[in-house]
């Protein structure tokens, strides 16, 4: 870890805890800062805050008192989940207090370079693939961010012999200052998180931050099948490495003659790739490009693609029961992700969907329901999804209380040879703390089937 001096004796507020806040507070304390932590959860119910208090860090819990900002803080490290329209954050901006996220701290202390992945869909799969390829290639990668250990924890242990592979959200990227990955990937961009960003253009701007500090010494791997991603690349100073599922590209990754290629090198035939779904080609192409730029051999890349069968909760095969194949795609928290999951199958599908109501309708799902023979819904959006299903001609529709009850209901609606797919098209927060919890409940329910 770099022993940076810039935070020594600086008065810093860590706003919001969770794992990233705890890590940021501990790191800043280690760097000699005067740290105050402010979290909404009461201290008596907040073991993380209690642990920081034991380290000698000032802790204020139970609410976000705006008057706290009058105490002369020189920096705020904000939990990414706290929106910028939060009164505390708005007041900090009015006072001109810089706001960063924990990822920025990780970058500043890290001795290792970063491979950073962002986009609307495919981030987790791409991050995992890059990590697996670098591991197979002997590059000593460490995985961090939304998919792994908190970046600031990883950065403190990393050396210059490592590479940190990190998945980054738009929320995290809004709070960077110097962050500059050696390799950045933008998988794709669609409409998402408008409730947080307010406008689509603000979401795109946040994603573009991944390359804002890059120079000609760094690489930006981009999906050239998408106009908005290309526009971001045009404004970047990095060396652009294109990938495309639709056409051959110079100096990048593409599909030709039923195989994956990087520049003029054939990497693997599509038939030898285990990961299902055409949508995963984007993830595979960008991962191949990152691995090749990192010096990984074609043999190592082939070995990973010939064995990697998916990330947990992302089109994850669970089991075959009574001739039905069960897939867990709980990470599909938007319509696009569910549409792509449905496109991965040619068999009849019994779809399990529903969750948090963010105010949107589900008409965009209509053209992707052709092979859906039955629907099981749950959660706040059950009625909205049922309406679209009826319009699509789906006759068998059942509403249940939760995912646990959805599994046996789907089994009864299905036949041998069918796919039973949990792909909710919604966030989980109406019923479950995370999409991981939702997916784990699905997995457990599948294994309980007789």
Binding-site annotation, residues for ATP: 119-125
- Tokens 């500059």 sit at which residue? 180
Q: Which run of H or E residues covers position 102?
A: helix 102-109
Please provide residue 43's backbone torsions phi and psi, each rounded to the nearest 5 degrees.
Answer: -60, -35
Tokens read off for 145:
């961010």
> 102 to each of 63, 174, 177, 307, how far by Cα in Å?
21, 11, 11, 34
Among candidate residues 60, 69, 11, the one with its CA nearest the CA of residue 39? 60
To 10 degrees, the CA torsion angle through 119, 120, 122, 127?
40
First CA to last CA distance, the chain: 52
> 267 to each of 134, 307, 395, how far by Cα in Å?
15, 14, 45
Please provide residue 235's backbone torsions phi and psi, each rounded to the nearest 5 degrees.
Answer: -85, -10
To 10 degrees, the CA torsion angle through 291, 292, 296, 300?
80
Cα angle at 124 between 230 and 14, to 5 degrees? 95
Q: How far apart (Å, rounded) are the C-alpha atoms in residues 406 and 403?
A: 5
Map residue 16 onto helix, strand or coil: coil
Contacts of 381 (CB under 8 A, 6+ apart): 353, 354, 355, 356, 357, 362, 425, 426
- Tokens 């960003």 sit at which residue? 197
Contacts of 176 (CB under 8 A, 6+ apart): 100, 101, 103, 104, 107, 209, 212, 213
Q: Which run of H or E residues covers position 129?
A: helix 123-136
Binding site members: 119-125
DSSP state of 311: B
Q: How far apart (Å, rounded) are the C-alpha atoms in residues 39 and 17?
A: 6
Contacts of 299 (CB under 8 A, 6+ apart): none
């Amino acid at each position: 870890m770099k022993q940076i001096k810039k935070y020594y004796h600086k008065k810093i507020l860590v706003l919001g805890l969770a794992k990233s806040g705890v890590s940021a507070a501990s790191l800043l304390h280690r760097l000699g800062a005067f740290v105050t932590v402010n979290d909404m959860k009461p201290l008596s119910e907040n073991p993380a805050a209690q642990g920081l208090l034991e380290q000698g860090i000032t802790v204020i819990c139970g609410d976000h008192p705006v008057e706290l900002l009058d105490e002369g803080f020189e920096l705020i490290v904000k939990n990414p989940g706290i929106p910028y329209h939060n009164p505390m954050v708005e007041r900090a901006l009015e006072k001109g207090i810089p706001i960063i996220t924990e990822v920025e701290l990780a970058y500043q202390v890290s001795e290792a370079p970063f491979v950073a992945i962002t986009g609307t869909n495919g981030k987790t799969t791409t991050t995992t693939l890059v990590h697996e390829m670098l591991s197979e290639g002997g590059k000593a990668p460490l995985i961090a961010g939304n998919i792994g250990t908190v970046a600031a924890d990883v950065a403190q242990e990393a050396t210059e012999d490592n590479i940190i592979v990190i998945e980054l959200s738009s929320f995290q990227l809004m709070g960077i200052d110097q962050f500059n990955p050696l390799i950045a990937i933008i998988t794709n961009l669609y409409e998402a998180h408008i409730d947080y960003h307010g406008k689509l253009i603000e979401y795109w701007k946040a994603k573009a931050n991944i390359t804002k500090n890059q120079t000609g010494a760094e690489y930006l791997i981009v999906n050239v099948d998408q106009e908005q991603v290309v526009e971001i690349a045009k404004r970047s100073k990095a060396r652009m490495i294109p990938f495309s599922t639709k056409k051959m590209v110079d100096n990048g990754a593409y599909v030709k003659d039923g195989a994956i290629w990087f520049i003029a090198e054939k990497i693997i035939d599509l038939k030898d790739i285990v990961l299902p779904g055409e949508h995963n080609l984007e993830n595979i192409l960008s991962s191949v490009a990152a691995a090749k730029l990192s010096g990984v051999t074609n043999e190592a890349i082939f070995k990973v693609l010939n064995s990697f069968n998916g990330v947990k909760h992302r089109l994850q095969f669970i089991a075959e029961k009574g001739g039905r194949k069960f897939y867990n795609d709980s990470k599909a928290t938007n319509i696009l992700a569910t549409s792509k999951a449905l496109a991965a199958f040619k068999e009849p599908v019994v779809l399990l969907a529903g969750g948090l109501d963010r105010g949107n309708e589900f008409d965009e799902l209509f053209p992707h329901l052709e092979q859906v023979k039955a629907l099981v819904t749950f959660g706040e959006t059950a009625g909205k999804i049922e309406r679209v299903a009826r319009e699509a001609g789906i006759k068998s529709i059942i509403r249940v209380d939760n995912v646990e009850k959805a599994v046996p209901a789907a089994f009864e609606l299905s036949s041998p040879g069918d796919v039973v797919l949990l792909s909710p098209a919604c966030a989980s927060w109406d019923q479950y703390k995370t999409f991981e919890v939702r997916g784990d409940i699905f997995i457990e329910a599948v294994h309980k089937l007789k």
